[in-house]
Amino acid sequence: MMSLEEYRTVFFAASLALTMIATFPTLSMVMPFPDRRERFSEFWLLDPEHAAENYPFNVRVDEMHGPLYLGVGNHMGFSEYYLVYVKFRNQTQQPPSGINSQPSPLPPLYEFRFFLADGELWEVPINFAIQNISLQKDSVFVSNIFINGVTFPVGCPSTWDSKNRGFYYQLFFELWIYDPTSSGFRFHDRFVGIWLNITV
Q: For strands 80-90 and 139-147, give the pairing.
A: unpaired
Q: What is the pTM of this model?
A: 0.81
Please report which helix (H) or strand (E) contains residue 50, including its range: none
Which residues, in sequence order, are bridge partners of residue 77? none
146 burial (CB, 10 Å; 0-12 / 13-18 / 19+) is middle
DSSP string, 122-152: EEEEEEEEEEEEEEETTEEEEEEEEETTEEE
Q: Kindly report the CA angle at 163 between 107 and 131, in degrees rounded to 5?
A: 40
Instruction: Please tell me whether residue 27 adopts helix, strand or coil conformation.
Output: helix
Q: What is the pLDDT of residue 136?
A: 86
The predicted structure's pLDDT at residue 185: 97
pLDDT of residue 98: 82
In terms of C-beta density within 10 A (0-12 exposed, 13-18 middle, 19 or more buried), how is residue 173 classed?
Answer: buried
pLDDT tens digits for 6-20? 656 666 666 666 666
13-42 pLDDT, tens per residue?
Answer: 666 666 666 665 554 555 555 556 789 999
- CA–CA dist 191, 193 (Å, integer): 7
* pLDDT (tens digit per residue) in 43-88: 999 999 999 999 999 999 999 999 999 999 999 999 999 999 999 9
Res. 169: pLDDT tops 90: yes
pLDDT at 19: 61
H or E element, residue 194:
strand 184-198
Q: pLDDT tens for residues 81-134?
A: 999 999 999 999 999 998 889 999 999 999 999 999 999 999 999 999 999 999
Position 200 pLDDT exceeds 80: no
Does residue 4 sit in helix, strand or coil? Answer: helix
CA distance 44 to 99: 18
For the chain, helix (H) and strand (E) counts, in that order, are 1, 10
Q: Which residue has the higher pLDDT, 157 or 200?
A: 157
Mean of per-residue pLDDT scores for the chain = 88
> What's the confidence (pLDDT) of residue 16?
60
